[in-house]
Amino acid sequence: MWTRFLLLPWWTRALLTAGVYAIQVTADWLAADLPQNFLSQLLWDAAIMVIFGLVVAANTANSHRIYADALAGLDPAQRSVAVRASFRGPVPADGFVRVAAIRISERRLYLARFWRVMWLVVVCLGLGFFALGRYLNGTSGWQADDWIGEAIVLCVAVTAWYVFLRIGPRLQTLRYTGAFAAMGVAEPRRGPATL
């Protein structure tokens, strides 16, 4: 799903990201009373949504370009096969589709390697601020939405680790099969040895 998100145009990525932020802001407003200066708060939140969407679109531009280049020249069915094969399923027999899947897997591995650490840092920082608040004030100062936000960040960190652990072996499988295909040799069976 994340790969398909990265393949969208920049303005679509920005709008979707701003929409997700809008859902969080709306939930915060429903959980608490509406602010007295409602109009100024609405304008402030709208500005943050736009900035946040543009920042995400800009930060995903390199991945969008790499994925688009990897899938260039493939028809929609082949693109779908390459995206799916980059993470699971049978290795594509078509060499162009397999190379596209390898390039997508390489980028996913790079991103997962980076973000698995960054999201854990964010989780630790959040828990550190919680502990510091309890130490200095005697109370955490956290509301329910703070805990929900921390839980979401933790889920994203776990997902990044899962992708990292899955994508490495998948990339090896794609390359291994591609090497045998390049030599014109059928991939050897990996079942139990027979006498």
* 97 contacts 74 by C-beta, under 8 angstroms: yes
pLDDT recorded at residue 105? 94
Measured in whole angstroms, how far is the alpha carbon of residue 138 from the centre of its chain? 37
As a whole number, the mean pLDDT across the chain is 82
Residue type, 77: A
Tens-place pLDDT, residues 45-79: 889 999 989 999 999 999 999 999 999 999 999 99
Which burial class, exposed, middle or buried, applies to 102 when counting CB atoms under 10 A from its CB (0-12, 13-18, 19+)?
A: buried
Tens-place pLDDT, residues 124-183: 887 777 777 666 666 655 666 667 777 777 888 888 889 889 999 999 999 888 665 555
* 165 contacts 156 by C-beta, under 8 angstroms: no
pLDDT recorded at residue 62? 94
Q: For residue 67, what are its two tokens?
A: 């994925």
Nearest to 11 by CA among 51, 60, 57, 47: 57
pLDDT recorded at residue 192? 45
Q: Between 141 and 96, whose confidence is greater?
A: 96
Tens-place pLDDT, residues 100-120: 999 999 999 998 888 888 888
Angstrom distance (rounded) from CA 5 to CA 20? 13
Residue type, 178: G
* 109 contacts 171 by C-beta, under 8 angstroms: yes
**pLDDT average, residue stretch 20-45:** 76
* 87 contacts 168 by C-beta, under 8 angstroms: no
